[in-house]
Structure 1
Amino acid sequence: MKYRMYIDEVGNSDLGASADPNHRYLSLTGVIFELDYMATVAFPAIEQLKSRYFDSHPDDPVILHRKELVNKKPPFAALQDEAMEAAFNRDLLKLLTELDYVVITAVIDKLEHQQRYSVWRFDPYHYCLTVLVERYVRWLQERNCQGDVLAESRGGKEDRRLKDSFERLCQEGSEYVQPQQFARWLTSRQLKVKSKANNIAGLQIADIIAHPSHRATMARRQQQALPDNFGGRIGGILEASKYNRSPQGRIEGWGRKWLP
């Protein structure tokens, strides 16, 4: 069996903007799917959902974007009808509950990171990516399986930065995972980078999950309840059965990690 972790981010890695409350945090969320399952179950299910509500066609597929869904902008204008929105939300939550996948989220407080490490600073994106891939490799090792990693394209320079960060991690290893372990359990040292416009179901699911997981991680860090909204309901699904967890069932440190 071969797996793939699809990665989406919330926020940015710019340390210069860390004092701004709106740009203080960066999170990466990885969603792990078995590739045959993605092809035979998850992808068809996502396509059926899109066809049912948005007239998505194989020649011109609708691409799910969380922000556009929330704002009910074309091609999601059908959600302006309350009954249609309620039905879509119900079916989406059902799908997110029933699909078989594992989620890992790392959130970094860039301001605290900047204040704590006044001389040496780990790049925030590389820091979060390291945490995700470490846990992914351990997850693969426990199952004696291999996998690769696919992130959403951000454009020329950003894509190069992502690929360089991933390759450096595989070559040098991390504090907790040796390079040999990355080589053993990852099928490639190259980070795959593609646009959601390619109709990649895993990236679309990661896009829908990333922000609710970010908010859930923030809420639990502050010892608060999950938000009382649709995103909070997605967070509840993740906590119930989707987050990676320890053999004892612990989520923190396994399926969610707060940094630094």
Structure 2
Amino acid sequence: MEQSSNYYLYLDECGDQNLANFDPSFPIFTLCGVIVSEEKLHELERQINDLKQRIWNSTHIILHSRDIRKCQNGFEKLFDLSVKEDFYVSVNQILGQDMYVIICCGILKELYIRQYGKMNDVYGLSLSFIMERTIFYLDDLKDNNIFLTTIIERRGKKEDKALFDYYNRILDTGTYWVKSERIKKYFKRFEMKWKKENIVGLQIADLIAYPMTRHILNNEGVNYAYDVIKGNIYQKDGKLYGLKVFPLK
């Protein structure tokens, strides 16, 4: 029996799903996916853990974009500008490598509400966009033995059940562009992990979600972090298939 090629899809969100009452200064929900092969995942884990060990003398600290930006919850060391420069240079070197693929969906809440109202499900919609584009990317690899594991961070019993229901519903019904059988060919396992489990793939997705979101909100603003990662956004036939903005501005 031919051995499977193991791939992982890590998912992280930026913003919240609330359409009824949201911050007008941050009118977006973003779901960001990072696809990585098992081989390259091991190398990314090694590099991230080497960075943590060098700066914190431990691999136990968990990279979280918001805490890093605010230098809080274990990231107080970054108040030291020399340490901060070392950290950001190293992170940019790691994330700038061609070792993973980004597939991201941003829902613009104001436009969405105008067209579809406030009762619709932005998480399920975002997940469907990411899953179908993941299929397109995996098809491009022309490997009939891919085994894909989807991994998200646990939020709570109610939220976790809703996420699992979204996933299973898409598996069972497919999307407009991709039939159920085609999705099930690749999507084999769904796992939920606690933040404390220190999953490097989820931390990479977290680091990427914020600059992707800022780019969607203002693609003409200065965004050095986006400049580092933009080469990893999935492209197909010269088009940026890995960045879905809905509805279009």
TM-score normalised to structure 1 length: 0.87
Q: Which amino acid aligns with 2:30?
A: S
SS in 2 for 1:3: strand
Residue 6 (str. 1) matches residue 7 (str. 2) = no
Partner of residue 242, structure 2: 255
**What is the deviation of 1:104?**
1.1
Residue 243 (str. 1) matches residue 243 (str. 2) = no
Residue 68 (str. 1) matches residue 60 (str. 2) = no
Aligned match for 2:56, one of 26, 51, 54: 54
Q: Which amino acid aligns with 1:2?
A: N
The question of whether the paired residues in 1 share the 8 Å contact of 2:68 and 2:75 is answered with yes
Partner of residue 24, structure 2: 21
State the alpha-carbon separation in 1 of the partners of residues 218 and 204 from structure 2. Answer: 21
Aligned residues: 240
Q: Which amino acid aligns with 1:243?
A: I
Partner of residue 138, structure 2: 140
State the alpha-carbon separation in 1 of the partners of residues 25 and 164 from structure 2. Answer: 27
**What is the deviation of 1:246?**
1.4
Q: 1:115 to 1:79 in 2, by over 3 A?
A: same
Following superposition, which runs of at least 4 residues in structure 1 exceed 6 angstroms of deviation?
Answer: none
Partner of residue 131, structure 1: 129
**What is the deviation of 1:98?**
2.3
SS in 2 for 1:15: coil
Which whole-Å deviations, capped at 9, do the CAs of 1:218-249 have from their partners, x for residues lacking one? 223xxx2x42xxxx21200222x21001122x
State the alpha-carbon separation in 2 of the partners of residues 216 and 22 from structure 1. Answer: 14
State the alpha-carbon separation in 1 of the partners of residues 203 and 117 from structure 2. Answer: 37
State the alpha-carbon separation in 2 of the partners of residues 22 and 84 from structure 1. Answer: 31
Q: 1:118 to 1:91 in 2, by over 3 A?
A: closer
Structure 2: gaps of 5 or more residues: none
Residue 34 (str. 1) matches residue 37 (str. 2) = yes
State the alpha-carbon separation in 1 of the partners of residues 90 and 229 from structure 2. Answer: 16
State the alpha-carbon separation in 2 of the partners of residues 74 and 257 from structure 1. Answer: 32
Map 1:78-227 onto structure 2 (within 5 A): 78-98=77-97, 100-118=99-117, 122-143=120-141, 144=143, 145-188=146-189, 191-220=190-219, 224=220, 226-227=221-222
Q: Percent identity?
A: 27
Which protein has greater RCO, CA pairs closer than 8 Å, 6+ apart? Answer: 2
**What is the deviation of 1:118?**
4.2
The question of whether the paired residues in 2 share the 8 Å contact of 1:140 and 1:146 is answered with no
State the alpha-carbon separation in 2 of the partners of residues 17 and 160 from structure 1. Answer: 23
State the alpha-carbon separation in 1 of the partners of residues 227 and 205 from structure 2. Answer: 16
Q: 1:118 to 1:76 in 2, by over 3 A?
A: closer
Q: Which amino acid aligns with 2:175?
A: S
State the alpha-carbon separation in 1 of the partners of residues 69 and 138 from structure 2. Answer: 34
Which whole-Å deviations, capped at 9, do the CAs of 1:122-143 have from their partners, x for residues lacking one? 4111111110111001111221
Which whole-Å deviations, capped at 9, do the CAs of 1:40-68 have from their partners, x for residues lacking one? x11111100001111214xxx11111111
SS in 1 for 2:172: helix
Structure 1: gaps of 5 or more residues: none
SS in 2 for 1:180: helix
State the alpha-carbon separation in 2 of the partners of residues 195 and 216 from structure 1. Answer: 28
